[in-house]
Amino acid sequence: MHKEILEDIGEKELINRLEKFMPKNQASDDCALIKTQKDNLLINNDSLIENVHFNDITICARDLGWKAVVSNISDLLSSGSKKNIGITISLILPAKTEWVWVEELYTGINKALKEYGGIILGGDCSVGNEKIISITAIGIQGELELRRSACKPGDLILTTGIHGLSKLGFMLQSKFNFDDITLSQALINKSIEHFCRPKVNPNFLKNLVKTRSNKKITRIGCTDSSDGLFQAIQDLAIASNCKAIIDYTKIPKDKNWPIGDKWDKYYFFGGEDYELVFSLPKNWAKKLSKLDRNIKEIGFFTKGEPSIEFKDNEKKSLLNNAPFKHF
C-alpha cells in the first residue's frame, strides 16, 4: 500500500489537513489573531532554511538577518499590524559554525528592527546539521483588518510594487548564466538588492486609512507575495471564493525587465518580493493609487469559481506554470 509523503501532497494540502487540529479559520492567513482586553495581537512565524532558502554563496549573514525579519514584518503588515512589538528567534546551527557568522546575523536582525520597529524578546538555540533561522514576530492589530478572505466581486486588485526582481537577484547571486541576453547594470543592482535587502512600505496602512471614505469598511482582502504574485492572487481568490481577472498590460515592471515567456514566469512565480497584493472598491483604489504612485491596479475580482484568468487570452499559457513548492 502506497504511503503518502509530503512531496506528493504539497504545502497547501498539508496546511489544509493540519487545520483540523486548530480552531476554525486559524490557518486561513499567515498571522494568528489573539484577542486581549487592550490590544488584539497578530503573531507570525517564518523560517529560513539553509540550502532551501539560502546558502553562503547567495547571501551573507548580515543580509540574511535583515531578510529574516522583513519576511515576518511583511506578513504582519499584510494582516493590518499597526505596530511591531518584537520577535523571538530560534536558531539551529551546526556546532562548527563560526561566531562571527552569528554576530553578523544578529547585526542584520537589529538593523531591520531599528528600521521597522520592535526588539528581540528572546529565543532558543540548538545544534543541527544545517542552519535554520526561525522567527516569531508579534504586532498589534490596527483598525483595518487585512485578511485573505475579505475580497469581494467588483473589487480592484492592486499591488504595492514590482515583482520578479528577487527571483532575478537570487539567480544572479547563484551565478546563473544568462547567455541569451545582456542585463543592464541598473537591473542587476536593483535585483540583488531586492533579494538580499527586501523592503516593505511602512506607510501603507496609514495611507489606506487616510484614503478610506466609508468608515464602515473595516476589512479588506490582502496577502503578501512571498510565494510569488500568482500564488498571492490565487490565495486571495480561493479564500474569498472569487474569480480573479488579471490585466497583463497593467502589470508594473522595471523599465529594463526583459521581454518573453521565460521572464513572465520569473515575474509571476519568482517569490520573495514581499510586496502586498490586495483588493479595494474602485473609488478607494483610485484615491490610494493617486496618493502612492507605486501602487498599481492589475485586475479585478468577479463572481465565479475561485481561479485566475488573464484578460488577454494570449497570456493563458502562463497558468500552466507551477507555483513555488516547499516540498
**Confidence category of residue 324, pLDDT binned at 50, 70, 90:** low
**Confidence category of residue 25, pLDDT binned at 50, 70, 90:** confident
Distance from C-alpha of 256 to C-alpha of 200, rounded to nearest angstrom: 22
pLDDT of residue 132: 97
Three cell numbers written together for 256: 529594463
Closest CA to 110 of 62, 76, 46: 62
Mean pLDDT score, 123-141: 97
Least confident interval from 59-63, 212-216, 273-277: 212-216
Distance from C-alpha of 232 to C-alpha of 228, rounded to nearest angstrom: 6
pLDDT of residue 126: 97
Dihedral sign for Cα 205, 206, 207, 211, please. Answer: positive
Q: Class of the 31-141 domain?
A: alpha beta
- Phi, psi torsion values for 147, nearest 5 degrees: -140, 145
Tell whether the model's pLDDT for residue 323 goes beyond 80: no
Global pTM value: 0.92
pLDDT of residue 8: 83
Dihedral sign for Cα 21, 23, 28, 30, please. Answer: negative
Tell whether the model's pLDDT for residue 70 goes beyond 60: yes
List pLDDT tens digits, range 160-210. 999 999 999 999 999 998 888 899 999 999 999 999 999 999 899 999 999
pLDDT of residue 63: 98
pLDDT of residue 327: 59
- Give percent of the chain above pLDDT 70: 98
Helix axes 165-173, 185-196, angle to 10 degrees: 90
Tell whether the model's pLDDT for residue 159 goes beyond 70: yes
pLDDT of residue 4: 86
pLDDT of residue 226: 93
Three cell numbers written together for 234: 490565487
Look-up of cell digits 479559520: 25
pLDDT of residue 319: 83
Mean pLDDT score, 14-37: 83
Q: Class of the 145-320 domain?
A: alpha beta
Q: What three-state secondary structure class fits 299?
A: strand
Tell whether the model's pLDDT for residue 93 goes beyond 90: yes
pLDDT of residue 255: 96
pLDDT of residue 189: 97
Tell whether the model's pLDDT for residue 23 goes beyond 90: no
Domain ranges of the chain: 31-141, 145-320
Mean pLDDT score, 59-80: 97
Three cell numbers written together for 170: 537570487
List pLDDT tens digits, range 253-311. 999 999 999 999 999 999 999 999 999 999 999 999 999 999 999 999 999 999 999 99
**In this structure, are residues 292 and 207 in contact, taking their beta carbons and an 8 Å threshold?**
yes
